[in-house]
Structure 1
Amino acid sequence: MREATRADLPAIAEIYAHYVRNSVATFELTPPDAVEWERRFDAVVGAGLPFLVAESGGAVAGYAYCVQWKPRPAYRHSVENSIYLAPEAAGQGLGGALLDELLARCAEADIRQVIAVIADTGDPSSAELHRRRGFREVGRLSKVGFKHGRWLDTGLWQKELGSHPGGRL
């Protein structure tokens, strides 16, 4: 587990492209190109938010990062998390390790709320991963995405990291 670097972006892009093309875990329809990944990376790191990778066998096997939940300043202590694993890395505990480290780094960055927007893919693993780490489902949006010929719901999951005495609140 370590902080992502620009050198990791091609591997990150390849992992994400798999989910864009082959699943409904993300609602993107076209994989982002290298320029877009650099923009996203710069936005996350520039905001002081965590962007992590997990390695296995010397290769990037997964990644996780957070972005500000909404652009308005009052939301500055709330983020949305994203976690993706290379298909061959699933089931090895890397998702949990990434999420644990992401939450720890969010707490260090004065983040109070972490929100996961989880597509209803029919596979409960993402929801269960978040539930085991104290997230609770706080809402559901019905049929808000259309991909691969079907309408999809999203669940909104939230975890409070606690108050920040002496912090920026």
Structure 2
Amino acid sequence: MARTAGTADLTTVAQIYAHYVTTSVATFEIEPPDAEEWHRRFTAVDAAGLPFLVAERDGVVAGYAYCAPWKTRPAYRATVEDSVYVAPWAVGRGCGAELLEALLEACRTAGIREVIAVVADSGDPASLALHRRFGFTEAGRLARVGFKHGRFVDTVLLQRSLA
């Protein structure tokens, strides 16, 4: 079962994310964030009253998910963007679904109305399939907006209404 993350989880969260930064186009970051940056992100999510969750397998953090404000303008205050990442060794063990389900429930509790997913169209259908499984629908595509590992990559925008 997913649980609320704490600062003690951030080292593992950083390791999971660093894998995707360095080996994939799942994120458009080029360099993995350091510990200070992860602490800043965690603190900002918490201060906004938004969820930051982890899933464990055999007592080890196997994945994480959080929501951050979609935009900073006040009119967007009930809309967030989700992020879900699973450790490579835990892929296929239900962590992504566990995290996304718990994240959506925590967003409802926090008064969020709309959740946006920005998914890199990397050729791997897993993230799109996960989001669609939980009721996200495609809201659009941004063509060639990211350049990483020598290629341009589209993003697919998905949206889920909670209201």
State if a TM-score over 0.5 links the two structures.
yes
Aligned identity (percent) is 64
> Which residue of 2 is the match for residue 153 of structure 1?
154
Q: Deviations over 1:121-166 (max 9, x none)?
A: 101110000001100001000000000000000000000001xxxx
Give unmatched runs, 5+ long, in structure 1. Answer: 163-169
Shift in Å, 1:57: 1.1
- TM-score for the superposition, normalised by structure 2: 0.99
> Which residue of 2 is the match for residue 10 of structure 1?
11
The root-mean-square deviation of aligned C-alpha atoms, in Å, is: 0.4
Q: Deviations over 1:81-129 (max 9, x none)?
A: 0000000100111100100000000000000000000000101110000
Note the 1:1-169 alignment, pairs <5 A. Answer: 1-162=2-163
- Which of structure 1's runs of 4+ aligned residues deviate more than 4 A? none
What SS class does the counterpart of residue 108 from structure 2 fall into? helix
What SS class does the counterpart of residue 9 from structure 1 fall into? helix
What SS class does the counterpart of residue 110 from structure 1 fall into? coil
- TM-score for the superposition, normalised by structure 1: 0.95
Instruction: Tell me the amino acid that sits aligned with residue 146 of structure 1.
Output: F
Q: How far apart in 2 are the matches of 1:121 and 1:20? A: 13
What SS class does the counterpart of residue 98 from structure 1 fall into? helix
Give unmatched runs, 5+ long, in structure 2. Answer: none
What SS class does the counterpart of residue 19 from structure 1 fall into? helix
Paired residue total? 162
